[in-house]
Chains A and B, each alone.
Chain A
Amino acid sequence: MWRDAGLVAVKDLRVEARSRVATNQVLPFALVVLILFAFALDPDRGLLARASAGLFWVTVLFAAVLAIQRSFALEADDARDALRLSGLDEAGIFLGKAAAVAAQLLVLEAVLAVGVAVLYNVALRSAALLALVCVLATVGIAAAGIVYGVVAAGLRVRDTLLPLLVLPVLAPVLLAATRASEAALDGAVSEAWPWVRLLTVFATIYTVFGVVGFGPLLEEA
């Protein structure tokens, strides 16, 4: 399983590195969303700084949908057949794809964090906590995204269906990551732990569910 996961993750990241979709489309899209928020909510009123954590994670979620769609779109002519015929362990495919999406999202979040600090004039008081929140939330987003991505992969309406499927499911991640990030920005570390626990539970549930259920979902999607 781990060998296959590494094989899939390296392959997916290599495809992204060659195609540059993540750097030329997903990242600019996310930055444009950040800038549009800055236009819509005037920085001078202080509203942007207060809402910066929520805007950051909404932007990450939008970008994550693109990354998840891309993860299945790159699977040759027929995503399900290519994956099923590969002979790879299904749990390994899930872990590999989730790891590749998570790696891309973490890079994206690092760039967006700099963008938020510059555009929204936000000061960070607990970088370690924010890093932990980003890792946990990203694992949850990637795991849930790949689970719902494979469900949508076999459908003709997958591009429009995936956001409808995955965004409501990721609402708890958005809530918990936003609250924990606000605590990290304010330096109120103790207020973050309940939300960190929620992120941990979410990431664990969807990772376990993906390892167990990705094979049957790949078969039946």
Chain B
Amino acid sequence: MGTIVRFRSAVSLLGRFPALAGVDLDVVSGEVLLIHGPNGAGKTTLLRACAGLVAIGSGEARVLGHDLCRDRRPIRRRVGLLGPATFLYDELTVEDNLRFAARAAGRPVEAGLAAMARLGLDGRLRQVAVARLSTGQRRRAALAAVVARDPELWLLDEPHAGLDADGRDLLATIVAEAVAGGATVMMASHELDRAATLATRQVLMAGGRITGGVSDDVSGGDPATPDGSSGGQEPDSPPRWDRADSVA
């Protein structure tokens, strides 16, 4: 399996604050990586860095073969980010937004319409302006926009937030389908009970670093090592935590 994400001693400064303070991480194709840790640990910054939205100040950072230290822009068409912001246009209808999202990513309009149907937004909500949707419905529309883009790398920041039980089940199905289709998923979440069932590997972040990892890889390949990079683990062994000695 190819390496989709490779970070080595990656540092990213937000102003003078090191949001990423030397991240070492490998994510291989087909993985569903769950990143968790306390607030301010750097999870969102790591996902934004993988999306090419945050500059890497030093170290090595490669995503889908692109060197983010040299040029972050080419990666953006190939990733899908579901974050706190919806990136939708409030005045436009759900359908308008998904048509635009699909076409902007170079996909046919039908991909947007299919994503709309997949997320259950093709009924009366289809012609409703996003501004008039509930929080959960907006979240579904934002997820539909990611589905419409059909990204190679899914970056999901608190994907369960705002979703009802059906939505969370649907998210699990969509993630599984994406991985089955060859995509890779990185997910930051505080809802470990839900997120852990989707993940094939987990890492812990604190202080802008990967400080530990646990693997639950059903395929038996590429489990985690304490530094968060892929290592080795018995396929049938239960998920376990490996904490790094020095927690930043």
> Nearest Cβ distance between residue A150 and chain B, in whole angstroms?
15
With the chains together, A15 CA to B90 CA distance in Å? 9
Chain B residue with Cβ nearest A87: B77
A76 pairs with B92, CB closer than 8 A: no
Inter-chain contacts of A78 with B (CB < 8 A): 85, 87
A74 pairs with B89, CB closer than 8 A: yes
> Nearest Cβ distance between residue B47 and chain A, in whole angstroms?
12
Contact string against B for A residues 73-91, beta-carbon threshold 8 Å, 1 for contact and 0 otherwise = 0111110011011111010
Question: Which B residues lie at the A interface, using CB under 8 A?
Answer: 51-53, 72-73, 76-77, 81, 84-92, 96, 100-101, 103-106, 129, 149
> Nearest Cβ distance between residue A100 and chain B, in whole angstroms?
13
Could you show 15 A-B contacts with beta carbons less than 8 Å apart? A7-B100, A7-B104, A11-B96, A74-B91, A76-B88, A77-B87, A82-B85, A84-B73, A86-B101, A87-B76, A87-B105, A87-B106, A87-B149, A88-B104, A90-B73
Inter-chain contacts of A11 with B (CB < 8 A): 89, 92, 96, 100
A19 pairs with B104, CB closer than 8 A: no
With the chains together, A90 CA to B73 CA distance in Å? 10
Question: Which A residues lie at the B interface, using CB under 8 A?
Answer: 4, 7, 11, 14-15, 18-19, 74-78, 81-82, 84-88, 90, 215, 219
Chain A residue with Cβ nearest B48: A81
B91 pairs with A85, CB closer than 8 A: no
Inter-chain contacts of A82 with B (CB < 8 A): 85, 87
B85 pairs with A77, CB closer than 8 A: yes
B85 pairs with A18, CB closer than 8 A: no
Inter-chain contacts of A90 with B (CB < 8 A): 73
> Nearest Cβ distance between residue A212 and chain B, in whole angstroms?
15
> Nearest Cβ distance between residue B131 and chain A, in whole angstroms?
9
| A215 in contact with B92 given A77-B86, A85-B81, A88-B104 (CB within 8 Å) | no
Inter-chain contacts of A7 with B (CB < 8 A): 100, 103-104
Inter-chain contacts of B104 with A (CB < 8 A): 4, 7, 86-88
Chain B residue with Cβ nearest A216: B73
Among A75, A86, A90, residue most surrounded by chain B Cβ atoms (within 10 Å):
A86
Inter-chain contacts of A219 with B (CB < 8 A): 72-73
> Nearest Cβ distance between residue B35 and chain A, in whole angstroms?
19
Among A7, A76, A78, residue most surrounded by chain B Cβ atoms (within 10 Å):
A76
With the chains together, A219 CA to B72 CA distance in Å? 9
A81 pairs with B91, CB closer than 8 A: no
Chain B residue with Cβ nearest A88: B104
Inter-chain contacts of B87 with A (CB < 8 A): 76-78, 81-82, 85-86
A76 pairs with B90, CB closer than 8 A: yes
Given A75-B89, A81-B53; 18 other pairs, CB 8 A cutoff: A4-B104, A11-B89, A15-B89, A18-B91, A18-B92, A76-B90, A77-B86, A77-B87, A81-B85, A82-B85, A84-B52, A84-B76, A85-B76, A85-B81, A85-B87, A86-B101, A86-B104, A219-B72
With the chains together, A15 CA to B51 CA distance in Å? 26
Inter-chain contacts of B53 with A (CB < 8 A): 81, 84-85
Inter-chain contacts of B89 with A (CB < 8 A): 11, 15, 74-76
With the chains together, A82 CA to B100 CA distance in Å? 12
Please pick, from A19, A84, A86, A88, the residue contacting B91 in the complex, using a CB distance under 8 A: A19
Chain B residue with Cβ nearest A4: B104
> Nearest Cβ distance between residue B70 and chain A, in whole angstroms?
13
Please pick, from B51, B92, B100, the residue contacting A85 in the complex, using a CB distance under 8 A: B51
With the chains together, A19 CA to B88 CA distance in Å? 14
With the chains together, A71 CA to B8 CA distance in Å? 39
With the chains together, A74 CA to B101 CA distance in Å? 15
